Amino acid sequence: MADEQQTSGPSPDVPEIPPQKPRRSPFRRLLLLALFALTLPFEWGMRSSCQGSPRTYTGIEVLTENPSNGISIAVLFLTPVLLGLLQHRIRNAIARLLMELASAMFASLATMYCFVNAIFAGDLGSSHNRFFPAPWIATLASLLTVIDACQGAVERIRDLVTERKRRPTMPTHDEPAKPSPEP
């Protein structure tokens, strides 16, 4: 009868494995990029010049006025999205962690760019102080991308730790090491 009664608890030799959480959607960052893109047609700020009154500019004008600006802004905003979509296809946990960290870095640079644009968009030193919500919304969208990338990095670290706990431990030998013979 003792053989029929088995313990249903976890074995002390096997580490406890947390239950699987549902994976995050790979399209969350794509939605945040779309939110950023929706702010581009709206007024992002005001420029003053010596030749006339200040004029407003849109996000599209920021992207198109100088090709290098458009390329660098596109890299800042597209890289976290593309890395987020790509990392769901890769199985190696360390590669996925590195991709999430790179996504967080690029998204934080994009957040800083939008934040600086939002701060200086109202032409702080002039009497034409206006509030432009588009750069603030873009800042929020890129900040949420940073948070998503950091959350993904934490999940990758948890995956690495869980994988490490699942590995069988190397057997230890209780025999002391024998000294090498002296010549």
pLDDT of residue 45: 80
| pLDDT digits 0-9 by tens, 27-80 | 888 898 899 889 888 888 877 767 777 778 888 888 888 888 888 888 989 999
Bridge partners of 45? 57
Helix (H) or strand (E) holding 145: helix 133-166
CB-based contacts of 7, cutoff 8 Å, min separation 6: none
| pLDDT digits 0-9 by tens, 117-174 | 888 876 555 555 677 888 889 999 999 999 999 998 998 898 888 888 887 765 556 6
- CATH number for the domain running over 28-165: 1.20.140
Taking CA atoms, 116 is separated from 40, 120, 123, 132, 138, in Å, by 16, 6, 12, 13, 11
Distance CA 30, CA 27 (A): 5
The total number of residues written for the chain in this structure: 183
